[in-house]
Amino acid sequence: MSLNLHLLRLFVTVVRTGSFSRAADVLHISQPAISKGVRDFELQVGCQLLDRTPKGVRPTREGEALTRHAEALFAAERAAEDELLSLRNLDSGSLRIGASTTIATYIIPDYLGTFHRKHPGIDLHLVIANTRDIADLLLAHDIEIALVEGPVEDDEIESRAWRTDVMSLIVNPQHRFASVKRGIDGVALRDEILIEREPGSGSREVVTEALAAEGIEPKRKLEIGSTEAIKQAVAAGLGVSIVSHVSISDQVKLGTLKVVPMRKPRIARTLWQLKVPGRIDIPAAAAFERIIWQDKPMVKVA
């Protein structure tokens, strides 16, 4: 059985919008035409794809399964369109980049600027999400570049070590650690309030594992859901924190935060690029990769 792609597009648009009338508005065709198209499609595939209710429509189990495949199909269609556009000497087209929070906030912007200056005709789109979501977007062809804070265990994905991210201990300039010249041992954190990211954060995982390996458990912890908010809390004297070194340069220069060297443990992590083996990169993605791999600064531990 060959699926009618036009009818498939009608069906998926109804699922996305939740109603025949909204789908008609999106596709700029009449509602009766949408309704007839979906009915014809259900007859073609031999099963009911939508449940019609007074509150709208929703896909049946079969409809949900078909929608997943359709989304991948249309993503591949968009990728083909983008590649054809990008083949025109990188003068037009788009590049979709997915990155986890630390990378997107503190590392990617310089690379985006470099790329834009070289290829101003390419539209750039940056998606910020956690590592697993970035991996899923890559598999679904929704992004072309994937940069994350941890490797992904997936048979369909290859994780390539990209650069080192050093984690630094930060304190308020008036904190007792701030005057220590030779640094501290991590055991000194046992008497501190450690401000950390939320569960599931790559930053939190690497810090927790490194401290646990040394038998270090701070007496109290404060959980805050963003690095920027953590830096503000540390500057206000609420506690200490261990964050990515690339995230703190501005506050250190302003004197609102101080970096305290840690003799043990010395905490660093690897940042990764995710790739789908065998997938051909569009020219814009290949050009962006050349930029990020040519310049891989290794931040020194404070």
From 66, 83, 100, the end of a domain falls on: 83
Assigned token pair, 74:
């249309």
For residue range 234-287, what is the model confidence (pLDDT) as tens digits? 999 999 999 999 999 999 999 999 999 999 899 999 999 999 998 888 889 999
From 63, 83, 103, the end of a domain falls on: 83
Q: Is the pLDDT of residue 80 over 50?
A: yes
Please give the tally of structural domains in the chain: 3
125: number of Cβ within 10 Å = 12
Q: Note every long-range contact of 57-60, with CB atoms under 8 Å and residues 24 or more positions apart, other chains counting.
A: 57/14, 57/15, 57/18, 57/19, 57/20, 58/15, 58/18, 59/15
- The percent of residues in the chain predicted with pLDDT above 70, rounded, is 95
Q: Which residue has the tokens 């599931």?
A: 200
Q: Are residues 263 and 199 in the same domain?
A: yes
Q: Are residues 203 and 254 in the same domain?
A: yes
- The percent of residues in the chain predicted with pLDDT above 90, rounded, is 69
From 31, 62, 83, the end of a domain falls on: 83
Which range scores top for mean pLDDT: 66-70, 91-95, 201-205? 66-70
For residue range 270-281, what is the model confidence (pLDDT) as tens digits? 999 999 998 888
Q: Is the pLDDT of residue 83 over 90?
A: no
Q: Are residues 259 and 177 in the same domain?
A: yes
Does residue 234 belong to any structural domain of this protein? yes
Q: At what angle do helices 61-86 and 5-17 cross, to 10 degrees?
A: 110
Q: Are residues 175 and 142 in the same domain?
A: no
Does residue 184 belong to any structural domain of this protein? yes
Cα maximum dimension of the chain: 77
What would the DSSP string read from start to end of 253-295? HHTS-EEE-EEES--EEEEEEEE-TTPPPPHHHHHHHHHHHH-
Residue 132's pLDDT is 85
Residue 85's pLDDT is 65
Average pLDDT over residues 30-56: 91
Return the bridge partners of 140, or none.
Answer: none
Q: Are residues 141 and 183 in the same domain?
A: no
Residue 302's pLDDT is 38
Q: Are residues 148 and 290 in the same domain?
A: yes
Q: Quick one: which of 122, 142, 13, 12 has its CA closest to 77?
A: 142
Q: Are residues 228 and 108 in the same domain?
A: no
Q: How far apart are CA 35 and CA 50, in angstroms?
A: 11
Q: Are residues 66 and 17 in the same domain?
A: yes
Q: Are residues 216 and 262 in the same domain?
A: yes
Average pLDDT over residues 113-118: 95
Q: Is the pLDDT of residue 48 over 80?
A: yes
Residue 297's pLDDT is 46
**What CATH number is given to the structural domain containing 17?**
1.10.10.10
Q: Are residues 135 and 202 in the same domain?
A: no
Q: What share of the chain is helix, strand, coil (3-state, %, to 5)?
A: 45, 20, 30
Q: Are residues 188 and 199 in the same domain?
A: yes
Does residue 299 belong to any structural domain of this protein? no
Q: Are residues 155 and 221 in the same domain?
A: no
Expressed as residue numbers, the domain containing 40 is: 5-83
Q: How far apart are CA 100 and CA 148, in angstroms?
A: 5
- Region of poorest pLDDT, from 95-109, 254-268, 281-295: 281-295
